[in-house]
Amino acid sequence: MAALELDAQQIQTLRQHAEEYKSYLLTPEGTASAEEHRDHERYFKERLSSAKLETMLPAEFKEIYRTLWASNMWGNKDWYIENKLIAPNGLETIKQELKKLLYGPGQIDIRYDEFRKNVKGFGPSSVSEILHFIFPDKFCLWNEKPKSVLPFLGLNLLPDRFFKYQITNGKEYVQCVNALGTVKDSLKGFDIKDFIDLDIFFWHIYDDVMPIEAGKRGRPAKAEPSPKAVQISDHDGAEYYLLELGRMLGYLPYVSARDQGKVFNGHPLGNAAVHKEIPPFAGDRDLNSAREIDVIWFGDDENPKYCFEVEHTMDIARSLNRLAQLQHIYAKFFIVAPQERMSKFDTEMQKFPYRRMHDRYRFISYQQLASLVEVTSPFHELRVKLLGEQ
């Protein structure tokens, strides 16, 4: 991966804030923030050591998870731990996978992906928090604070989607580490020696500087820009926005292998998908049928919830038949196409076997899809901003 560099203006902006940050560290607030971060570091280094992981009991794991800042988004932490972590995974699996994530061999992007694959319920914020506080020289914390502070400082070091949505894999996390590492290395002369120091700096900018600057401009802090009008006019655009919409709504979208290399407005469709391969939710016959469907939204249980076929000019009957191959799977089927093709959809739905599955199918026009994306995007961004993310 190519090394990132800051331009002269970015360095100047950083150093201006860093000069003020050195004074902030001498205040009671700054001292308290630094102590809180270092207490967090000591806690996780002790409780998640290789030896402690071997003998960890359920009560100890519960305490560790409750201590994570990322867990603060859950109103009932104990319910979440019991029902979303221990029950579906088993404590032994969690312990083994944490040990591989933290102390196993291989590159961190591979270990990150293996952990997210094998343990359900840990999101990017919680995984990065654990890595960050055990290895502060190597790994950054990626949560709402850097996602807000980097744009505020004009540090456009990462793709825009990293700030709007969750990161989805180890490769993207490594990109975050490299970007924040570039910022950290630029501030070596300002009492910022590791990623924990950098996070204290980010907290100060987020909690103290950004509200003041926003007040000077006479508008709320971190105001979100008005969403741009979404335009969908072709097959690739429809697939791209289906993938983006699925992610915003909390699903795990997949795009067929034949379309993963296609590019819409500079965005490879494969990068917009969460699943690059079909999860093993059924036997080979059903999996082979599912692989041919344009876009599928999977739930956290890795079962398909919504299946989409985009038909710009091709035969709608072919797409209806492709979806029908999964008729015994509990999922909803959609044809996405230009509005003028709805009459063809209605005609085909009167034929056998589709008329007996009429309640399973829906038609969505390009314009309707665009409208849904436009209203969902600000809601998603506000939800992440106010409730946090996992």
Provide the pLDDT for residue 302: 87
Domain boundaries, the chain: 8-217, 235-373
- Whether pLDDT at 382 is above 90: no
- Whether pLDDT at 75 is above 80: no
Check: CB of residue 307 under 8 Å from CB of residue 293.
yes
* CA pair distance 21, 36, nearest whole angstrom: 17
- Whether pLDDT at 217 is above 50: no
Mean residue pLDDT of the chain comes to 89
In the three-class reduction of DSSP (H, G, I as helix; E, B as strand; rest coil), residue 306 is classed as strand
% of the chain residues with pLDDT over 70: 93
- Whether pLDDT at 225 is above 50: no
Q: What is the DSSP string of 321-388?
A: HHHHTTTTSS-EEEEEE-GGGHHHHHHHHTSTTGGGGGGGEEEEEHHHHHHHHHHHHHHHHHHHHHH-
Angle made by CA atoms 138, 2, 98, in degrees to the nearest 5: 30
- Whether pLDDT at 276 is above 90: no
pTM of the full predicted structure?
0.60
Check: CB of residue 71 under 8 Å from CB of residue 126.
yes
The confidence band for 334, taking pLDDT boundaries of 50, 70 and 90, is very high
- Whether pLDDT at 226 is above 70: no
What are the backbone angles phi and psi of residue 267, rounded to the nearest 5°? -110, 110
Mean pLDDT of 120-144: 94
Provide the pLDDT for residue 5: 86
Structure tokens at 191: 């009492």
Kindly report, residue by residue over 185-198, the tens digit of the pLDDT. Answer: 999 888 899 999 99
Q: To 10 degrees, the CA torsion angle through 100, 101, 107, 112?
A: 130
Mean pLDDT of 62-70: 92
Provide the pLDDT for residue 314: 77
* SS3 of the chain: helix, strand, coil, percent, to 5: 60, 10, 30
| Bridge-based pairing state of the strands 361-365 and 332-337 | parallel
Structure tokens at 94: 């969690």
Check: CB of residue 223 under 8 Å from CB of residue 57.
no
